[in-house]
Chain A
Amino acid sequence: MDKKIIEVDQVVIKFAGDSGDGMQLTGTQFSNTSALIGDDVSTFPDYPAEIRAPQGTVGGVSGFQLNFGKKVDTPGDFADVLVAMNPAALKANVVWAKDGATIIIDTDAFTDKNFVKAGCNEEKLKEIYNDFNVIEAPITSLTKESLKDSGLDAKSMVRSKNMFALGMVYCIFDRPMEHSVTFLEKKFAKKTAVAEANIKVLKDGFNYAVTIHAMPSYRVHSSTIEKGVYRNVNGNTATAWGLLAAAEKANLPFFLGSYPITPASEILVEIEKRRDLGAKAFQAEDEIGGIMTSIGAAFAGHLAATSTSGPGLALKGEALGLAVITELPLVVVNVQRGGPSTGLPTKTEQSDLFQALFGRNGESPVPVIAASTPSNCFNYAFEAAKIALEHMTPVVLLTDGFIANGTEPWKIPAMKDMPEITTQFIGKDTKEYLPYLRDKKMVRKWAVPGMKGYEHRIGGLEKMEVTGNVSYVPENHEAMSIERDEKVKNIVNDIPELEIEGNKDAEVLVVGWGSTYGHLTTAVREMNEAGTKVAHAHFNYINPLPKNTADVLSKYKEIIVFELNLGQFAKYLRMMHPNNHYEYYDKIQGLPLTVTEIKEKVNQILEQL
């Protein structure tokens, strides 16, 4: 067969196999290499909640999707290339392959036994072959053959089969192998035999693909990206680093109290590593311990944060109220996942919005902000800390499993360019410290143990205005409730206005918040390029909403709110700005939006106009 060369701007690849097959590592390697040679990359790891789910079953399939090339804002809807290490992986993912996509299968794993485990039969799967360009490669046996002289046992040999697949895909896309070679040498520095075996298999996979000629080659147009130093980053790491950056900028020590929970644990793990920056991470005995130690650290004068996911936020609710009434700075990071209860621990969702806004007893106003890409988790974590410290309030930062685990290349910012943060410590020469004396923005001052002469008591009981003594006076409770509310409302003056992307003068406005940004901006851009008039407004600031929200919304005939829940943000907008009509587009499958479905919805609305 003649070698086809396909010219494209973007390519989507999905690696899929058993949860022990090393698909996450394979996908990460390909993404890193692509990023290193200057492509835009967006990734979407998708794995089961079980660490080693039953082998060969659909429930145990672990996938890693990535999109690379030019102007990449999402991991892509459908794959151009699917690598399926067994029948279950093929069955679970073939619906996500484009018509005519290239599918690479490990024929060694396509056994009767595995067909049964996957709940399908060979004939049915063969039908799939008609619609795609299927490349049958005996990956497992070729890996064994490649390593027959390595001295490794059979089990260890087979473990390298993901490198064979990676080598093949490197060949198809003409990527250099050197970055993965260096990675393997480093990873297995103490096990040189394993390092050598993996590198050999990687190269043999590459060469095998050269030899068989059966696959197309792609030439992917690279992005023209801004000059600078880049790295890959996922949302959880970026969140951890954003908090550390805020602490450094505010000249404060950093404390994180946390309890392991999927998909937020990585934030705790990253801060635990950062003893080198003097950060104190405290792995508490439970979620409540996580937030309470953080409140204690905030009382003691640290920038304090706690990280969790939905069920953990529920457990922290009472303590978050304590931070509200004591008016201490605190960042609560909620990496949202599918709920309610344990729900879908490894899957993404935006359904904790109401919990973040309202999930506490009493009048308990909390600023809520949301990051929208893996790398801007850094900026919004920084921003959450800045708001907390400058306004003496707990702040909830919402991210979710999609951007927490997803990666993208990131132009590394310089600390000198980050905004200044002004802390609210009481001036050293202040004669008398009145804990609840407020400034024009309704913000109180911060005095911490160790400061001479400013000894005071705070706590969960309602406090008298100004003095902070316990007070049951009815009018005082009302006054304090209003003051706490006003304080949070005042933050609106310190946050940026909402910006419109796309055709500003369109009749239809696409609205989203948080992690749906990439899909929405791609859909709107592609529609605009195709001549369809549509605008896009994306919210990162949820409470308070940006000052110009009403102005923006009132300009459009139709507002379509896209979100991964049953319409929480749309309902919130309707409550805050009731004069507009809001069209809902809700998805709650544990999956991100697709560009395709966004376009379909917008077109459907446009037809009705």
Chain B
Amino acid sequence: MADTQYTFKDFKSDQEIRWCPGCGDIAILMAVQKAMAKLDHKKEDYAVISGIGCSSRFPYYMNTYGFHGIHGRAGVLASGVKTANPKLSVWQITGDGDGLAIGGNHFIHEIRRNMNLNIILFNNQIYGLTKGQYSPTSLFGQVTKSSPYGTIEQPFHPGELVIGARGKFFARTIDSKVAETVDILVEADKHKGASVVEILQNCVIYNNGAHNAITSKETRDDNQLWLKHGESMIFGKEKNKGLVLDGLNLKVVTIGENGITKDDILVHDAHQELPYVHLALINMNVADGFPVAFGIIRSVEAPTYEVLLEEQIKDVQSKSKIKNVDDLLHSGNTWTV
């Protein structure tokens, strides 16, 4: 464990930041640096791994070991690093294009394997670095450079994919909410397994205000539900709105109306193995009259790939007669001339 106390400055590299002024990535960079300073790893034990895209420039701005990979392949690059050296704290930085389009296959498989990785998904619903084409999370009908008449594709909900791939950890936050993001990132790192943190990120150039319905001053209190394990799902300017289960569906209610009291409101259980409520929370959206869920939505313990692998190695080593390559070459049928 770390013998030095770090501050976020220890994690800043000497490279000039080349994101656009006002880019949401800048706040996320700060949040990650602060989270790392809070965590108990040595600086040299962090590895920040990315693919391609605006978000993937991230490693260059971190004073840690870093690897800027190729498009879509951050997940497999990170998986190789972690499998090779399970002691490292491995952070995969990816975006909605990199992680869910070209890297979609790796995304679902790394979640399925449950390797202990921190997968930070910057979701701005657009391709920024290639200058404004629609992404797998762009809204249906969204007009972009490559969808001049509106997209005719249904978007992915990243959290829904995580559940579909039998994921154990999913959290959602907003780029500008640095303090909340820091806490979530710390928890994501502490969670043993593939931790996916979706960060709603604002691209000021190609999709400015994409998350406004959720993040604007006027609407944010009514449209954001910040979940905490063991606490009631209450939100709203007046802190008087909440969620209840109506049959199999979630429903928004107002405390004090129709006999609803605080005790009727659902209490968040992030550790529940069955994913149905988590899935319902993930899928809530403003258009349907729901707040959008933030915080750690799902956090369930399960064996991790790299630990199972190390255990298997130890087990096989204790049983096998083959201790080195000479033994291997002489194993099985041999004869002497």
Contact = CB atoms under 8 A, between A and B. Distances in A.
A458 B83 contact: no
A229 B330 contact: yes
Interface stretch (B59-67, B149-157, B273-281): B59-67
Contacts of B77: 292-293, 295-296, 299
Contacts of B322: 274, 276-277
A449 B335 contact: no
Interface in A16-59: 32, 35-36, 38
A554 B79 CA distance: 50
B106 A300 contact: no
B334 A230 contact: yes
> Which of B63, B84, B312 has the most chain A CB atoms inside 10 A of its CB?
B84
A415 B329 CA distance: 9
A284 B76 contact: yes
B53 to A, nearest CB: 12
Nearest to A453: B44
Interface in A255-270: 255, 257
B332 interface: yes
A231 B334 contact: yes
A455 B43 contact: yes
Given A277-B324, A293-B83, A304-B80, A230 B88 contact: no
A456 B15 contact: no
Interface string B301-323: 00000000100110111011011
> Which of A231, A232, A286 has the most chain B CB atoms inside 10 A of its CB?
A231
A274 to B, nearest CB: 7
A34 to B, nearest CB: 11
A414 interface: yes
Interface in B173-217: none
Given A288-B73, A449-B44, A228 B336 contact: yes
Contact of B109 (A255, A285, A300, A450): A285
Nearest to B44: A452
A230 B84 contact: no
A279 to B, nearest CB: 8
Contact of A461 (B45, B62, B68): B68
B88 A300 contact: yes
Chain B: interface residue count, which band? 35 or more
A460 to B, nearest CB: 5
A326 B70 CA distance: 11
Interface string B45-86: 111011010000001101111111110010011111111110
Contacts of A275: 312-313, 315-317, 320
Contacts of B52: 460
Contacts of A458: 66-68
A288 B313 CA distance: 25
Given A276-B317, A296-B79, A452-B44, A35 B335 contact: yes
B333 interface: yes
A415 B79 contact: no
A278 B328 CA distance: 13
A415 B43 CA distance: 38
Contacts of A288: 73, 76
A319 interface: yes
A299 B64 CA distance: 13
A294 B45 CA distance: 19
B42 interface: yes
A437 interface: no
B325 A244 contact: yes
A282 interface: yes
> Which of A277, A326, A451 has the most chain B CB atoms inside 10 A of its CB?
A277
Nearest to A233: B329
B81 A412 contact: no
Given A244-B328, A296-B79, A280 B309 contact: yes
B67 A245 contact: no
Contacts of A304: 80, 84
B228 to A, nearest CB: 33
A284 B15 CA distance: 34
B257 interface: no
Interface in B75-105: 76-85, 87-88, 105
Interface in A486-500: none
B337 interface: yes
Q: Give me the 9 closest cross-chain CB pairs, A-B, nearest first.
A: A296-B80, A459-B68, A293-B80, A276-B320, A292-B76, A300-B84, A457-B66, A275-B316, A297-B84
17 contacts: A36-B333, A230-B334, A230-B337, A241-B329, A248-B325, A276-B323, A277-B323, A278-B317, A280-B84, A282-B83, A284-B76, A288-B76, A292-B70, A299-B77, A412-B329, A452-B44, A453-B44
Interface of A: 32, 35-36, 38, 179, 225-232, 241, 244-245, 248, 253, 255, 257, 274-278, 280, 282, 284-286, 288-289, 292-302, 304, 318-319, 322, 326, 412-415, 448-461, 469-470
Given A244-B325, A289-B73, A449-B65, 7 more contacts: A228-B337, A231-B333, A285-B109, A296-B49, A322-B69, A412-B334, A469-B15
